Amino acid sequence: MTAFNRDVVETRVFGVLRWVVIAVLVLATAFPFYYMIVLSLRSLDEVVLHPGALWPAEFDVSTYLSVLLPEDDGGQGFLVFLRNSFVIAVLTVVVTLLAAIPGAYAISRLQFRGRRQVSALFLAVYLFPAILLAVPLFVFFARIGLRGSLAGLLIVYVAQTVPISIYMLRNYFETVPVSLEEAAAIDGCSRFQIIRRVSLPLAMPAVVSNALYVFMIAWNEFLFALLFLAEDRDRWTVSLGLSQLAGSIEIPTTVLMAGSVLLTLPIVVLFFFAERLLVEGLTSGAEKG
């Protein structure tokens, strides 16, 4: 008799539907990455003959070799691109943190005129399309001769990542009890000593997650790399290199697939390694609604 009341029906339906949704979503998110790996291990002839095959007939790792080798040795030079990406991403992380840690501390702890306006200004950064900033920056860097240099790109990346870093770190600094800092102040610490000895060590999880996030942004960035570095192949990042070569008909898709695995792998490894840290850093504050 009770078998058909609304509650039971709904509970059963959603009980089944839930698993369907989970299966579809996992398939939809994971499959493109699986396809990427499989394709990078197959030869192009085989792909054209059997487009539907989901497992390589034989593992062909020569694609990786040919994408990594320098151009002179018949490769695509991705090793150089990887180095460029790595250097610029690490430098972006370092410079961003050097600016963002003191900045976030100041906004979370110190009362000064203009504090709120500065916070608003930083958030306004994300209101404007990157393409709007790109035009004058392009003109400016072209004039002072920094276009095509990694230094110019670094400055742009830092400006793009500092505001979100300050936002993430500020939330964390606010959870550090003020009483700890006051105790240190009574013991004779100056403001800068307090930051270095008390607040910063306590905020380390947030700093690490923020560093990973900034690394990810810098590693994945495309538009500014395209505008600033496109002309000089030796300076290409992996993202730029892959996008520039993707249109070419001479390079087999499977080789470029190997390139895109190399582009994705560091980020995915980093992400699985630090998922919890990252997610907490990003969504802290969302719980409060």
Q: Is 273 in the site for other proteins (CB under 8 A)?
A: no
Q: Which is nearer to other proteins, 30 or 65 (CB)?
A: 30
**In whole angstroms, what is the distance from residue 106 CA to residue 234 CA?**
40
Q: In the window 160-199, what residues touch other proteins (CB under 8 A)?
A: 162-163, 166, 191-192
Q: Report the nearest approach of other proteins to the CB of residue 169 (Å).
A: 11
> DSSP states of 7-75 as a string?
HHHHHHHHHHHHHHHHHHHHHHHHHHHHHHHHHHTS-HHHHHH-TT-SS-SS--THHHHHHHS-GGGTS
Q: Rg for the chain (alpha carbons), in Å?
A: 24
Q: In the window 47-86, what residues touch other proteins (CB under 8 A)?
A: 47-48, 51-52
Q: Is 130 in the site for other proteins (CB under 8 A)?
A: yes
Range 146-150, long-range pairs (CB < 8 A, 24+ positions) = 147/228, 148/228, 148/229, 148/231, 148/232, 148/235, 149/228, 149/235, 150/84, 150/87, 150/88, 150/91, 150/229, 150/235
Q: Is 208 in the site for other proteins (CB under 8 A)?
A: no
Judged by CB under 8 A, which of 56, 202, 264, 277 binds other proteins? 264
Judged by CB under 8 A, which of 82, 100, 211, 258 binds other proteins? 100
Q: Which is nearer to other proteins, 90 or 155 (CB)?
A: 155
How many residues of this chain bind other proteins (CB under 8 A)? 97
Judged by CB under 8 A, which of 3, 4, 55, 113 binds other proteins? 113
SS3 177: coil
Judged by CB under 8 A, which of 68, 164, 256, 258 binds other proteins? 256
**Binding segment for other proteins among 72-80, 86-94, 113-121, 198-206 (CB under 8 A)?**
113-121
